[in-house]
Structure 1
Amino acid sequence: MTRWSSIVLFLVVIAATVLWFVFSSLTMDQRRSSEALNIEYFSTPESLSIEAVKARPDENWHVLNGSRGSFGYTDDHYWLTFNISDVDYDRVLYMAYPLLDSIHIHWFSNDGLIEYNLGDKQPFFQRPILISDFAIPVPANQTGEVFIEVVTSSSMRVPVSLMSEADFFDAKLQRRLVEGLYFGVLFCMTVYNLFGFIASREPEFGIYSLYTIFFGGLMLSLDGLGFRYLWPNWLYLQDKGIPIFGSLTLLTAALFAYQLLRLKNYRQTLARGLFIMAGLALVSLAVGAFSSYKVGIHALLALAVPGCLYLLIIGVYLWKKGLIYARMFTIAWGALLLSVMVNSLGYLGIIDSMFIQRHAIMLGSGLEILLLSWVLAVRYNEQRRERLIAQQRYNEELETRVEERTFELEITLRELQEANNELEQRNLEDPLTGLHNRRYFTQQIEREYRRSRRNQRPMCLLMIDIDKFKAVNDTYGHGVGDDILQAVSTELRKQARRPTDAVCRYGGEEFAFILAETDLQNGLVFAERLVKHIRQCVFSTRDGEHSITISAGVAAIDNTRDHSVHDLFTAADSALYKAKREGRDQVVTTSIEE
């Protein structure tokens, strides 16, 4: 048996071993997920309340064939419902797809309504069961009806299964063995080629190490393992990981093929095509980094299949030219192209198979990485001496170009970030008083309102107005009026002693004070102390010292009634104007109308 045949046989044995482990894991998942759920579903372009979903007529629900819903790319909200039967052992409700943005589970159990909010838009450690997919515990003897709302910018795939807790963790262990074997191969190839680069200074080895690193990052993002082990609190990378790592993979693949195959010595047109592919990969990288996930993943998929096909065409061309390592290069990219095409069809919902989603690209890429490592070794043994000087020069030029582009991009990003921070600060700050402006007030009162509703805590709003301020402007001029506004703002800011207190200039001589977790009585005490404090102040202005008074209206929400932010603001504003009508320099409270 020749050396080439021995290597091919060895790789085939490895691929067959991986396939056996994958098939074993897959069949185990299927066998242990045999509990029938009778899932029904419907989709809607907008979010619905759980009451509206429960009231939806039966004819508007569709029966889901099996338990693996696959609907392609869509912006719709998908609702699923099924019943959980009564058993005497603990179970796990499992959704074996890690790229779902938002999963809201409503479980009407024996003990009442239980809700879970899951998804890769939330920090990893908030999950009830810390796995790369999504799962919730189902204790023994618990029954009830489950409603699940799913929204995602990725492919809408909702594989739902219910299995015993023991079988679930056993199946996860089997899958981890497969993934460990795969990522172990990637790690070994990365280290092997990195050592080859250090020993030989051949740029192909260095680029190929980067390629395997980026491909590993892509697979970690696809399988949710990166979010679990490497970046559990980095939501940006979890959202952008697939487009970013996928684009970097195509970029390094183009550079690797150009450096390995020496296309400029055979056909310059094909070499230019590789640079075009690298440029398109950079465009895809920028799109993936700065646009939405949906746009980024479509840009990546639009480039991935043609890119792999182009590399396959180059391999066939050089195979016909008689290059010994072009044969294995062609087989390697053929395997990857097939897995990428099948995986893309799975993402688009054309074919529905979690085996494809989880393992097809893993098998294809694993075989491709092994074969390309062998191609590198053959090429190095045959051409190392005669190509060394030219490769070193090209590597230096390429590194300089990449460093310059990276440096320019870092400067541009830094300048853009500084400009954005300054603009955001200016947009939320009143230029005269330095207080938060009306825009900030509108945003903050909504945030505090939602927080108070969520925590079932009271919330208080003070509307404040400087008494007879128009007379000050008319008598002493607007300059003195500005001095008084600034001085009053300073005193108000001093009273905002809690981190949650917010004082804003609402407009003109009118101010707003947002007091979180404060009821009406405490808000009244605070407002009276504030009015008294301003009454006792003497303000220095360009026209000498002046004293002024303020009026305040106070309203509060105790969250025992269904009131809105508008109700709170209207009540506080009405109280303010009542205080001004009744003589100013006083505090008036009011209750919110039913």
Structure 2
Amino acid sequence: MPYLRCLLVFATLMITGFSANETNGATGDCPVLDASNAAERDALMHYVCFVAAGPGDEAHSVADPSELPGNQQWTPANGHDLIFSQTDSVYWVQLKVSNLSDARQFWYLKLNYPLLDQIGFWISGNSADQQIMTGDQHPFASRGIDYRYYLFPVTLNAGENATVTLRIQSSGALNVPLSLSTPDVIIADSNHLTLAHGLFYGALAIFAIFNLLLYFSSGTIYYFHNAFYMASLAMFLFAMGGFANQYFWPNSTGFANTSIPLLIAVCTLAITLFGRSFLDISPDTFADRLLKAQAWLSGALALLAFVLPYSLSIIINAIVGLSSIASLFITGFIRWREGYMPAKWYVLAWSGMLAGTLIYTLAAFGYLTDFLAREIFMQVAVGTQVLLLNYAIVQRWRLLNQKLLDIEHDARIQLEQKVHERTSQLRSTMRELEQANRQLAAMSLNDSLTGLHNRRHMDNLLPELCAESRRTGQPLTLALLDADHFKSVNDRWGHDFGDTCLKHIAEILSRHVKRPRDVAIRFGGEEFALLLPGTEAAGALRLCQRILEDMQQSVVKTATDGPVTITMSAGTATLLQNEDDRELFRRADEALYRAKVGGRNQIIQAVEPD
């Protein structure tokens, strides 16, 4: 089949180390780019030169451009992108720039590839020499600018010349897509990509949560596997795009590399589990044994990602991932031919995904240019696949539903002695369905971690309580509480310990909020709310003081560092005449903000507006 031939070509490319895009050309001096000229900036790669210094070369061991040999020969890029397959070489990149305008100007040299271990940046010859050392093997803050790609400032006075030098070394493939842009262009491009990424990752999150809720409500395992797949795929693309290093582990320099093969293995495990459950593979068949072996192999590779060298682990995981996708595609095609109609949509979903994954992998390994374009193409392929997979799930549900209707129809025409048995089965099914609906309704109004009510319940209840308070004249107080420095707790001890702390907070709130109509709510992260009908400001203040004192006097035990005390800040607001629920919430939130700014571990009551 064509997909298997593509996979074979890809494996051959990686084994031989061939790169179709590695630049070759005659050596010579680099031309000077007029940075004030937009046309020349657009043709930046015609002004870039580079040196590929293998182990043993003098340029491989030096750490500063001033230490390079005086007769160093530079190879012009000749307009080509600089991409290199996995190599031990150090790459020096040079760009000579000048400002021929009559005013001082500022640009950013942008490197649009996030997965690079070591990057050194030097600019010399201008009024203020600069040096930046960054990359995945440095804390994210070393970049100087909070951005997933690398931005290096270039400032030139009128008529001034400068030489920009980059030293790049990485244990994986090297993509060096460079551009020289003004800040307004950088911001505009970033805004457009932010919108696209927000829509993409938001859609994946919604689909994953939706499938997870379907799993909890129905107990059907492939819903869980589909949610697992979409979450792991989103996390892998998040890491490949540099977002995970920016937001999740900015200071974990070692994990920046480990996370990529680890997440590939996790994605492979997820797609194998989903395919095996969705395609309804018969037990003890060859396909069943093959998919089980793939799942076990993926799990083992996920663990080995912490042990194997990155350069070896990434290749093994990529080959296993592509092989697993191909085998699932073939298995789905066979099930389709066997008459299992949901497999038709499964095969269509994987058709584009297999091509997208192959192209994205080739780009990531340095065999295709324009990694950013391949990333967008991969997102389109993933989005299309997710839609088709969920449509396939709908078709499977319709098939099962049709079977249920057929069973019901057959029951109607059975002999009279069968009627009582079928009716009893139907009643049992209805009871189970009613129980499942009650569970789903409870889940939609309660927080699964702490057992408290959630934000949806608060949004439903607060307007009703405000209307009742205005009608009866009884007071209503809203208290908002927030755990202090909770991000540092998660960063230091992990999210599992953070969840333990949230449960601890919920227990304390439940212990103090005891009146029948008082409601304790977790409405987001470490944020909690108390709805206190019939309670004036003074009563709410006393209640919050008891809660804060209890929090300060209790501890949560960690696995290694002993007990930890969690403190909270609180803001309260009592409903005013002619005030609605939004204004009440706003005033309580402002009071909470003042409590946090004023030193935390305290309670601030909202002031009445003038």
Structures share a fold, TM > 0.5? yes
CA contact (8 A) 1:106 1:114 kept: yes
CA contact (8 A) 1:92 1:136 kept: yes
Alignment partner of 1:66 is 2:95: no
CA contact (8 A) 2:65 2:165 kept: no
Measure how far apart 1:286 and its partner are.
2.1
The separation in 1 between residues aligned to 2:305 and 2:190, in whole angstroms, is: 31
CA contact (8 A) 1:32 1:168 kept: no
CA contact (8 A) 1:67 1:159 kept: no
SS in 2 for 1:264: coil
Measure how far apart 1:316 and its partner are.
1.0
Measure how far apart 1:284 and its partner are.
2.0
- Say if 1:140 and 1:67 are closer, same or farther in 2 by CA, change over 3 A: farther
What corresponds to 2:167 in structure 1? 149
CA contact (8 A) 2:222 2:274 kept: yes
Alignment partner of 1:307 is 2:324: yes
Counterpart among 256, 261, 266 of residue 279 in structure 2: 261
TM-score after normalising by structure 1:
0.57
CA contact (8 A) 2:87 2:173 kept: yes
Counterpart among 367, 370, 376 of residue 387 in structure 2: 370
CA contact (8 A) 2:126 2:156 kept: no
The separation in 1 between residues aligned to 2:109 and 2:71, in whole angstroms, is: 26
Measure how far apart 1:288 and its partner are.
1.6
Q: Which runs of at least 4 in structure 1 moved beyond 6 Å after TM superposition?
A: 384-387
CA contact (8 A) 1:250 1:278 kept: yes
Counterpart among 159, 162, 186 of residue 168 in structure 1: 186
Measure how far apart 1:143 and its partner are.
3.6
CA contact (8 A) 2:272 2:295 kept: yes
Letter in 2 for 1:50: D
What corresponds to 1:381 in structure 2? 398
Counterpart among 71, 75, 92 of residue 57 in structure 1: 71
Identity of aligned residues (%): 21
The separation in 2 between residues aligned to 1:32 and 1:202, in whole angstroms, is: 58
CA contact (8 A) 1:183 1:216 kept: yes
Q: Please, which moves more after superposition, 341-350 or 317-326?
A: 341-350
Measure how far apart 1:153 and its partner are.
1.2
What corresponds to 1:339 in structure 2? 356
Q: Please, which moves more after superposition, 302-311 or 357-366?
A: 357-366
- Say if 1:73 and 1:56 are closer, same or farther in 2 by CA, change over 3 A: farther
Alignment partner of 1:34 is 2:42: yes
TM-score after normalising by structure 2:
0.56
CA contact (8 A) 1:193 1:205 kept: yes
Question: Cα deviation per residue 1:229-259 (whole Å; 9 max; x = unaligned)?
Answer: 2222233332211111111111011111111
Letter in 2 for 1:242: I
CA contact (8 A) 1:122 1:235 kept: yes
What corresponds to 2:241 in structure 1? 223
What corresponds to 2:143 in structure 1? 127
Measure how far apart 1:51 and its partner are.
5.1
Question: Cα deviation per residue 1:389-413 (whole Å; 9 max; x = unaligned)?
Answer: 9xx9xxxxxxxxxxxxxxxxxxxxx
Aligned residues: 358
- Say if 1:250 and 1:234 are closer, same or farther in 2 by CA, change over 3 A: same
SS in 2 for 1:144: strand
Alignment RMSD? 2.5
The separation in 2 between residues aligned to 1:194 and 1:56, in whole angstroms, is: 62
Alignment partner of 1:79 is 2:92: yes
SS in 1 for 2:368: coil
Measure how far apart 1:287 and its partner are.
2.5
Measure how far apart 1:300 and its partner are.
1.2
SS in 1 for 2:105: coil
Measure how far apart 1:31 and its partner are.
8.9
What corresponds to 2:213 in structure 1? 195
- Say if 1:65 and 1:316 are closer, same or farther in 2 by CA, change over 3 A: farther
Measure how far apart 1:211 and its partner are.
1.0
Question: Cα deviation per residue 1:119-167 (whole Å; 9 max; x = unaligned)?
Answer: 0111112222110011122235264001111011121111111111111
Letter in 2 for 1:191: I
Between Structure 1 and Structure 2, whose CA radius of gyration is higher? 1
Letter in 2 for 1:105: F
What corresponds to 1:453 in structure 2? none
CA contact (8 A) 1:346 1:357 kept: yes
Alignment partner of 1:208 is 2:226: yes
Letter in 1 for 2:187: F
Unmatched tracts of structure 1, length 5 or more? 1-29, 393-594
